[in-house]
Amino acid sequence: MTTAVMPFALAAEDSSWTMPDVAYWALAPMIIVFVGGLIGVLVEAFVPRAARYALQLALAVATLIVAFGALVFVTGDHLGVTIGGTMVIDGPSRFLSGALLLLGLVGLLAMADRFGGPSPDAFTPMGAASPGSELESEATAHGWATTEIFPLTLFSLGGMMLFTAAGDLLTMFVALEVLSLPLYLLAGLARRRRLLSQEAAIKYFLLGAFASAFFLFGAALLYGYSGSVNLTTIGQAAGLSSGMTESLLIPGVVFVLVGLLFKVGAVPFHSWTPDVYQGAPTPVTGFMAACTKIAAFGAMLRVTYVALESTRWEWRIGVVAIAALTMVIGAVLSVTQTDIKRLLAYSSIAHAGFILVGLLAFDRTAIAGVLFYLVAYGASTIAAFGLVAMVRERGSEATHLSQWAGLGKTHPWVAAAMSILLLAFAGIPLTSGFTAKVAVFMPAVAYGGLSGVLLVVIGVLASAVTAFVYIRLIVLMYFTEPSGEVTLATPATMTTIAVAVGVVLTILLGIVPGPLMELAQQASLFIAQ
């Protein structure tokens, strides 16, 4: 027995492996979010039902505020690589984490509102269980029935922050699952529309599993090619290769990009987007549309600019084609939609194409443009879905476009806020959408070559098509007589705050974009390991 143990002991003593250093202060915001989620699980398990909602809401809001404070005041002095190169805290990761925390807080406020009273027709956007008794309906009215959304949202946000800061493909895969699994659950919580919501959750889960498998297989191929899953090591190995002669490199790149393109909803990996956006609870849809896109594009920026930039001439043309198709299909199919949630879903597909145009420019100004676009689009999107959740007819969400007819006369402030957001989606000047599109199109023209110019032309034409869709809805709200009995959900205090924040940011980033653009420019440099 001794002879069997000694060689192992000697090998362990002679090994050069050491415990990697962990920069806890650099990871403080992420740790705070995950700890908040864990405490939320304990609250869900042990706190009485009547007190659970207020405590969960206060805990989630406090967690995000404290995490943002730690990000601003602590992590700036601890930039660098930590945990053996698996995590990178640099400008892009800090900027994206800040955007996720702020927009996640706004989205959480929209999800926290409970609409309706204790009657059987009461409606909760988070889909509390259908009231079968007086006690259950009372719980539904006060928001006690779906408090699990708070820890689930925190876990998803933590995974998104981990996704944008991952320094290797294995950590990125773990983060992908951590951010996705809570979203699958959140998408199925609209129990008043149980079948549609559960169908959306199943579709999202199954297609997301396929995308994760593609990403993991691509990571395995890149490991076989470079001998490492570290992004910087892969980039160094790719820089020494002879391009297409490396049989594992390009297939690995393709599979990894497929997994990431699924998350951003790019064509042809977009089929889940309209169904999930329509079936999920509307405030969850807003959170998902804004924050998931930020996290996915953050990870794609790191992969393409750190690991794959030296080989971009082998795979760039394929992503150029995907960007063009994404803009065209997202714009054209939005014209045919009669459900406002599906319209916004195809709009998000088109916007994913616009962001890809900037990403493919491969310049520092392009990174800054993408960062700015993600914040501007996220703020407008959460506000838009918040408004959709508030507009209803006979106790149900008024998602059909015909139900929005005459809204400018019956509920003028809702119509005005929605009009501002739609103009931003269309890229009209003096809104954040116009500034964001300029920020991603200009680097594409300057540094993207002929393909960049072509993508910008397609982007401008696609913007014109989507502008027709948005202006048609504005005309419907202001120049059509009201039909039906459309009302607003009450009380909607927190949703109103979320909408107001989104609208104000949409206007400010269109009129005074300088501070955020400068911050994005300062944060546009990746740290080399």
Determine the pLDDT at residue 192: 65
Q: Which residue has the higher pLDDT, 86 or 394?
A: 86
Residue pair 237/229 in contact (Cβ under 8 Å)? The answer is: no
Question: Measured between alpha carbons, how far apart are the two ends of the chain, in Å?
Answer: 44
Tens digit of each residue's pLDDT (9 = 90 or more) over 213-267: 999 999 999 998 888 899 988 888 877 755 444 678 889 999 999 999 999 999 8
202 CB burial (10 A radius; 0-12, 13-18, 19+): middle
Hey, how many other C-beta atoms are within 10 angstroms of the C-beta on 266?
Answer: 28
Tens digit of each residue's pLDDT (9 = 90 or more) over 329-363: 999 999 999 999 999 999 999 999 999 999 999 99
How much is the average pLDDT of 434-451? 93
| Bridge partner list, 80 | 89
Tens digit of each residue's pLDDT (9 = 90 or more) over 71-80: 999 887 888 8
The model scores a pTM over 0.85: yes
- CA dist 242 and 235 (Å) reads 13
Residues in the chain: 529
DSSP for 365-421, written as a single string = HHHHHHHHHHHHHHHHHHHHHHHHHHEEETTEE--BGGGGTTHHHHSHHHHHHHHHH
Angle between helices 194-226 and 272-279 (to 10 degrees): 140
Q: Is the pLDDT of residue 163 over 90?
A: yes
Q: Which residue has the higher pLDDT, 351 or 5?
A: 351
249: enclosing H helix or E strand: helix 249-264
- CA dist 293 and 109 (Å) reads 19
Residue ranges of domains in the chain: 22-112+147-522
Q: Which two tokens stand for residue 74?
A: 């602590």
- CA dist 218 and 231 (Å) reads 13
Q: Is the pLDDT of residue 20 over 60?
A: yes
Mean of the per-residue pLDDT values for the chain? 86
How much is the average pLDDT of 443-456? 92
The angle formed by the CA atoms of residues 494, 504 and 409, to the nearest 5 degrees, is 75
Q: Which two tokens stand for residue 262?
A: 């699924």
Instruction: Identify the DSSP state of 431.
Output: S
- In the structure, what pLDDT confidence band is assigned to residue 489 with cuts at 50, 70 and 90? confident
Q: Which two tokens stand for residue 268?
A: 């042809």
Q: Is the pLDDT of residue 121 over 70?
A: no
Q: Sheet harboring 396-397: ordered strands across?
A: 396-397, 391-393, 486-488
Q: Which residue has the higher pLDDT, 303 or 135?
A: 303
Determine the pLDDT at residue 76: 79
- CA dihedral sign, ordered 224, 241, 165, 325: negative
Residue pair 178/155 in contact (Cβ under 8 Å)? The answer is: yes
Q: Is the pLDDT of residue 485 over 90?
A: no
- CA dist 476 and 348 (Å) reads 21
- In the structure, what pLDDT confidence band is assigned to residue 526 with cuts at 50, 70 and 90? confident
